[in-house]
Chain A
């Protein structure tokens, strides 16, 4: 990618880009784990998008006569409710399917917010250096000394729960890692010849950052961002589990776990299936992240 950008000519750059895709595909074919991850994540994304058509029941429909029905393959189960029903007679399978929507939405939006904030801060710190750098990096230290989940809980405790607040808080609370890796990349790129050349021909700071520095910082951002989606999904579920997350009216994996907690001993399916769904989603994202890291740059193992 770096080669393609620095040649700058349309012809060879395009063919290089194509071979880049081919290289990615080849490397992907060698990593069975990443293929499994992509397939699982693809299914979860599909469930989230087409939940309205796939889901057998309305996830909020309560049928009180059919409370706490076990999964279909057990005594007392019914094919109507493959994974059983919860304490209010709601279909577990439908709720798990709809829950994927919230998890993915929160994960992706929060990562976009923190990515934008962190990349911006990292670019400024690395490019302008000196006081700005010291100030921004001190902010990073301050927020790192403040446990992520505690900050999220405290802010939500004051702002109040709700989907929008959860996304905002997770987004704002997660910018530091991006700022750190981007700053480190900028510091190494800043002194390179092509930046000097751009400056020599009179390019403005903004132009240099946009066209010469930013593209060279994106690889680690993509890696960090992938893993962060997984972390955000778990954190959202934890917040919701504590009653400080998404509204109770929206079916989420976190709320299913917290609802099912009281029935752990008698109706294990209330907590097992949403937990499994979350684990599979997070696992697939981590598998893809692992492959991305090896593929983009094996030296970034410590990220």
Chain B
């Protein structure tokens, strides 16, 4: 059990190192970062000065080690756009916005998926089931930035009842959370439905019914309980994607989270911030996966034996 956890922690460290290596390569090996950072009319001396200043005249392996040492201390250098601001601080400042959006999204989309998926599984092949599946399919096929634009058009431009973008009062979070949640609700409804159908075919469900238990108790006490593991998997996947993958939605709604920061830093060629941002997202993603894996050992004794 303990060796399993230690093993998983070691794996996670390797993954984070790998992500750092990847982002280092992307920034440093596909073109001269100094040339990219400076305007094209910069003089040769300026280029050389910045190169020495940033340690870019050193051999690449040495640069990478220095980059890693910095990353371990949370030091990715200063933002190129906002001089004097540490890159990681920018990311951390933006994190509450991302967290808020993720929480609100999860808070409506997970219960929605559980209810829709369970009903669809219980009333297999009924009109309700077909309707739920059609909604789910539509939700998965809508490009989220288009859904965002349409929602802005309807609720902000035409009806004028919700703010179209920005960050502030509780009303601001509604449209982005709905946009983001549409995809998750759609995917999770399908996962819950197929998981639930599998559980309902199990023998203990037949036993419970044979004992004469009411359908409600069979579903809530016997079936839903056994959905815990797939649901934990789903929630883990969602949180992992919500923390890093809300890039598109955050940008469409001008939501000041870390996803939008990533886009901004790419567009502004603010590479220290990009590196810090990707590092932060990777750590969050890996950390959540690690937590989920450890949760499994508690939820499902079979994993412990393995």
Contact partner of A145 (CB less than 8 A), chosen from B140, B145, B269, B286, is B286
Starting from the known contacts A146-B281, A158-B30, A238-B145, 13 additional A-B residue pairs (CB-CB under 8 Å) come to A141-B11, A142-B22, A144-B285, A145-B18, A147-B241, A147-B247, A149-B248, A150-B259, A154-B23, A157-B267, A158-B26, A261-B149, A272-B150
Report whether A242 and B251 are in contact in the complex, using a CB–CB cutoff of 8 Å: yes
Report whether A257 and B141 are in contact in the complex, using a CB–CB cutoff of 8 Å: no
Given contacts A158-B27, A283-B141, contact A146 B248 (CB under 8 A): no
Report whether B22 and A149 are in contact in the complex, using a CB–CB cutoff of 8 Å: no
Report whether B145 and A257 are in contact in the complex, using a CB–CB cutoff of 8 Å: yes
Give the interface of A toward B (CB within 8 A): 138-139, 141-151, 153-155, 157-159, 230, 234, 237-238, 241-244, 257, 261, 264-265, 268, 271-272, 275, 278-279, 282-283, 286-287, 290, 301-302
Instruction: With CB as the reference atom, state the residue of chain B lying closest to A156.
Output: B266
Interface residues of B in 270-290 (CB under 8 A from A): 274, 278, 281-282, 285-286
**Across the interface, which residues of B come within 8 angstroms of A268, CB to CB?**
153
20 contacts between A and B (CB under 8 A): A138-B11, A142-B15, A142-B19, A142-B22, A146-B23, A146-B282, A147-B241, A147-B285, A149-B248, A150-B247, A150-B278, A154-B266, A157-B266, A159-B30, A243-B267, A265-B158, A275-B146, A283-B137, A286-B140, A287-B137
Contact partner of B138 (CB less than 8 A), chosen from A139, A144, A275, A283, is A283
For residue B91, CB closer than 8 A to chain A, the reply is: no
For residue B263, CB closer than 8 A to chain A, the reply is: yes
Task: Tell me, rounded to whole Å, the shortest Cβ–Cβ distance linking B18 to chain A.
Answer: 3
Given contacts A150-B262, A242-B251, A265-B157, contact A278 B146 (CB under 8 A): yes
Report whether B18 and A155 are in contact in the complex, using a CB–CB cutoff of 8 Å: no
Report whether A145 and B285 are in contact in the complex, using a CB–CB cutoff of 8 Å: yes
Interface string of B239-265 (1 = CB under 8 A from A): 001001101100100000001001100
For residue B31, CB closer than 8 A to chain A, the reply is: yes
Task: Tell me, rounded to whole Å, the shortest Cβ–Cβ distance linking B33 to chain A.
Answer: 9
**Across the interface, which residues of B come within 8 angstroms of A144, CB to CB?**
285
For residue B303, CB closer than 8 A to chain A, the reply is: no
Report whether A139 and B18 are in contact in the complex, using a CB–CB cutoff of 8 Å: yes
**Across the interface, which residues of A come within 8 angstroms of B23, CB to CB?**
146, 154
Complex CA gap A265/B248 in Å reads 21
Instruction: With CB as the reference atom, state the residue of chain B lying closest to A272.
Output: B150
**Across the interface, which residues of B come within 8 angstroms of A142, CB to CB?**
15, 18-19, 22
**Across the interface, which residues of A come within 8 angstroms of B282, CB to CB?**
145-146
**Across the interface, which residues of B come within 8 angstroms of A275, CB to CB?**
143, 146, 149-150
**Across the interface, which residues of B come within 8 angstroms of A243, CB to CB?**
267
Interface residues of B in 133-192 (CB under 8 A from A): 137-138, 140-143, 145-146, 149-150, 152-153, 157-158, 191
Contact partner of A237 (CB less than 8 A), chosen from B31, B140, B143, B191, is B143
Instruction: With CB as the reference atom, state the residue of chain B lying closest to A159.
Output: B30
**Across the interface, which residues of A come within 8 angstroms of B15, CB to CB?**
138, 141-142, 145
Contact partner of B141 (CB less than 8 A), chosen from A148, A149, A286, is A286
Given contacts A141-B11, A158-B30, A234-B143, contact A149 B247 (CB under 8 A): yes
Complex CA gap A271/B154 in Å reads 13
**Across the interface, which residues of B come within 8 angstroms of A264, CB to CB?**
149, 152-153, 157
Complex CA gap A282/B267 in Å reads 28
Complex CA gap A257/B153 in Å reads 13
